[in-house]
Structure 1
């Protein structure tokens, strides 16, 4: 019975770590897409020349 609980605990820990890694991966993908979108929007808007920050 004790061995079964240890195995169950290890499987739960692996599942939690896997969920966290997968979540961080998708957050990174969304961040990369947002970064590219902002860069494209800035390139399209900024064709008039350099502008100073206000």
Structure 2
């Protein structure tokens, strides 16, 4: 499951970096990965694309 989520959110190339070194957009992706990792039945997100660049916003949607 972890590999699937990493691939879906394109976190492959930042996988080994400390979170504090990531851009705001990648930090948001990591947070989203944490939220969906356990495959919840319902997931409520408050502005999940805030802080992402336009290309990243399109990918999330």
TM-score by length of 2: 0.27
Larger radius of gyration: 1
TM-score by length of 1: 0.30
* Higher helix proportion (structure 1 or 2): 1
Q: Which has the higher contact order (CA 8 A, sep 6+)?
A: 2
